[in-house]
Chains A and B, each alone.
Chain A
Amino acid sequence: MDSALIPEGVKRCPTWQFIIWIGVVGAVMMWGVFAILLVYIKGLNQTNMNNAYGFALWIWADLTVIALGGGAFFTGFLRYIIGKDELKHIINYAVLIGFICYSSALLILGFDVGQPLRAWFIFWHANVHSMLTEVAFCLTCYFGVLCIEYLPLALENRQIDKVPFFHHLSHNMHEIMAVFAATGAFLSFFHQGSLGGVPGVMFGRPFGFREGVLIWPWTFFLFTWSAAAGGPCFTILITKITEKAVRKKLVKDNVIELLAKISGWMLVGYMVAKIIDTWYWAAFTAPSKGFTLMDFYANNPGSVYGIWILIAEIGVCGVLPALILITDKGRKNRIALFLAVLLAVLGVCLNRWVMVLQVLAVPVLTFENWAQYLPSWQEIATTILPVAYGIIMISLSYRYLPVFPQERELNPIEAPVSQTQEQLPEPETPPAGAEPEPSPSGS
C-alpha cells in the first residue's frame, strides 16, 4: 500500500502490521496528550510539584533528553569537524535521535511553565545573566540546526526526492552540512553547559552550587562533557535496540566501535573531572557553607537520597562503562558493549536527576526538612509521551527514509521487494524491543 514511499532495496513489514504498531504506540502518546490538556486547562496543580520542588520530573526529563540528544552534536562534530568519516553511517540516526530529543525537550518546556502563553517572554525580555535564557536561546537555535540537519534526510524519501527542487535542496544542504554542524556544536556546547549552570549558579543551594571560571560554574563544563560522552552512548544504545527490534544489522561494527571508543575516552575524561569536582566540592565548597558531604546523603526520609547515588553515578555508571568502552575487548563483546552504553546512559540520567531533584530536596534552612516528591500520573504520562513520540518518529523515519546507509549492503535482498517478510517485530516483541529503560527519546 505504501510501498511507493519505502526506500528502494530494503524490506519493511506489511502495512497493516505497521499501522497496528503505530496505533499501539500512538495510544500511549494520546494518554500523554490528554495529560497535557489537563495541565493546560487546569494548571500545574495537576502535578505533584510544590513550592519546594519547583523543578521536578519534567525538568529532569528535559535535562536528560537534551544530554542524551547530545549524540547528535557530538557525532556531527566528530564527523564534520574532526573528520571521522566512518561516522557518516550513523550520523543520520544520531541526528534523528537528537531531533526527537530536542523536540521533546521543547515540548516539555512548553507545558512545564506556568504561563505557556507567554513563555516567549524568555526571548523577548531576555535576561542574559540567566542560565535558563542561555539554554532557551541555544536550545531553540540548535533545534533549528537539527531541523536543518534532518531535512535533507527527509527530502531523500523516494517520492520527495523525485521533485527536482527538493532533490537539489537536499544535495546542497549536504554539501555545506559542516557549517551547520559547526554551528550546532557551538550552540550545543553552550546550552548543554548552561543546563549544567542551572544548578551550578544557585549559590543558595549548596548541593548544586559550584565554583567555576568567569560566569560558568564547573557544572557547566561537566554537563557539556557528560553530554558529549553519554549522547553517543545513547545513539549506540538506540541503534542496538533498533537492530534488535527489526532483527537485522543496520550499522557496521567498526562504526559502532569507533563511536564507542571515542565515547569511552570522553567518559574517562569526564569521570576524572567529575571525581575531582566531587572531591573539591565535598572537601571545600560544601564545608565553606557549613555542610559535610554526608549532610547531603543522610537522614532523609526513607533514605531515598543515600550515598549509594554517588557510588552508582560515579562508579557503576561512570568508571565501569568507561573502562569497558576504552578496552578493545569490551567494545567487541556485544553484551559488554550494550551494558556499557546502557550504564553510561543511566549514569547521565542519574546525574541529571541528582542535579535537579536532590538539589531541591536537601534542606538548606536548618529548621526545614527534606522535601519529598512523587510524580503525579499526569507528570508520568507527559514524560512517557516523548518516548512514544520518539518511537513513532523512529518507526516512520526508518520505514520511509534511508536512515541507515549501510542497511542495503548489510541486508541484501534477492527478490526485488518482498513485503511479506516481517521486519518489524512480532506482535509480542515490540514492547520488548522498543520499551526497555532508555527509549528513543530517553526518558
Chain B
Amino acid sequence: MEKENSKKFGMVIDLDKCTGCGSCMVACMAENNIPFREDETDKLLSVSWMHVYRLTNVKPFPDTEECYLPRPCQHCEGHHGHSPCVSVCPATATDYDMDTGIVSQIYTRCFGCRYCMAACPYHVRQFNWWDPLWPDGMEKSLNPNVSVRMRGVVEKCSFCIHRYQLAKDQAYMEGRREIEEDEYQTACTQACPAGAITFGDLNNPKHAVYQMVKPDKKNGGKPKNPKAFRLLERLGTNAKVYYLSSREWVRRAGDNYLKTEGQAKHA
C-alpha cells in the first residue's frame, strides 16, 4: 500500500515544446546501454525505451498538421499498482514500487515469455530478439550503472532508476534523508534541448510536475491544467506520464473516442 511519504515519480511532456528532434531517444540509448544493429529501421524489432511518435491531424494539404509525441514507459499505476504489465508477469520479473511509483524490470529474472509486451497498450516493452553486441571497442562507452540485457528478455524504460539510487546514496552519505528535485532527473529530461520534458514527484507540491498537472479534487483528481492529458486514460492504466498540448486534435489523439462522443467531453 502507498505509504504516507511515498513518492510518485512522473513526467510531464509539453508537446507544444517538443520538436521531435530525438535527443531524448539518443540520450536514453547512451544512458541505458541500448544496443544497436546495422538495420534498425523496423521499429518493431528495435529496442528504444523512448520512442517519438508522429501524430497527424489527417487533413490534406495545406491543412496538414503534425505533432511529435515522445513515449517513455508510462509507469502505469493502474488500480493500486496493478499496471497492465506487472500483474501478468509470471515470474515476478517486473514490479510496481509503491515507494516510487516506478515499474521496474529485472532482466535476469525475465525469461522472455512476452506476456507483458502483449499486455502493454503503449508498446513500451521491447524484446531482445538478438544478442546485444558492440563493435570492438564500442563497449567502452557502456554505463556501469545499467546492466546490459541479454538476448531473449524484455526491457523497458526505468525512469533511469539507477539515477535515483545514486542520488539517494549521495544524500545518505551527506546525511540527508531526502533528495532534491534536481538531484534525480532522467536522462531524457536532462537532454531535451527544448526543455519539453519535466520530471519529478507527482506527490510533492514543491515539484514542477505537480504544479503543471495539479490535481483538481472537484474533478476526480484530473489535472486542472486544461492542456493536460494522458495516453489511453480510458483503459484505466492510470499512467504517470502526462502530456500537455494546446491543440484539441492532439489531446483527442491521446485516447479512443466513439464518433458520437463530442469534442466537449474531453477536457
Contact = CB atoms under 8 A, between A and B. Distances in A.
Do the two chains touch directly in the complex (Cβ atoms below 8 Å apart)? yes
Interface of A: 43-45, 49-55, 112-116, 118-119, 121-122, 124-127, 129-133, 136, 198, 201-206, 287-292, 295, 359-360, 364-368, 371
Interface string B43-67: 0111000000111100000000000
A365 B231 contact: yes
A43 B42 contact: no
A118 B111 contact: yes
Q: Name the prevailing secondary structure of the B interface residues.
A: loop
A287 B120 CA distance: 19
Interface of B: 42, 44-46, 53-56, 69, 78, 82, 84, 87-93, 109-115, 117-123, 125-131, 150-154, 231-232, 234-237, 253-259, 261
A204 B120 contact: yes
The SS class assigned to the A binding surface is: loop
Contact of A291 (B82, B90, B92, B256): B256
Nearest to A109: B113
A49 B118 CA distance: 12
Contacts of A127: 87, 89-92
Given A203-B84, A205-B121, A290-B257, A45 B109 contact: no
Given A115-B112, A205-B121, A130 B256 contact: no
Contact of B253 (A43, A133, A367): A367
Contacts of B112: 44, 113-115
A112 B253 CA distance: 35
A74 to B, nearest CB: 26
A51 B89 CA distance: 16
A51 B235 contact: no
Contact of B113 (A132, A359, A360, A364): A132
A53 B118 CA distance: 7
Contacts of B151: 43, 114
Nearest to A201: B88
B44 A359 contact: no
B234 A119 contact: no
Contacts of B117: 51, 54
A118 B235 CA distance: 33
Given A119-B111, A125-B93, A127-B92, A202 B84 contact: yes
Contact of B118 (A118, A124, A359): A359
A334 B87 CA distance: 48
Contacts of B45: 45, 50-51
B199 to A, nearest CB: 22
Given A50-B45, A130-B87, A201-B87, A287 B253 contact: no
A132 B130 contact: no
Q: Which of B56, B110, B118, B254 has the most CB of A within 10 A?
A: B118
B119 A365 contact: no
A125 B91 contact: yes
Top 4 A-B pairs ranked by shortest CB distance? A114-B112, A114-B152, A290-B256, A54-B114
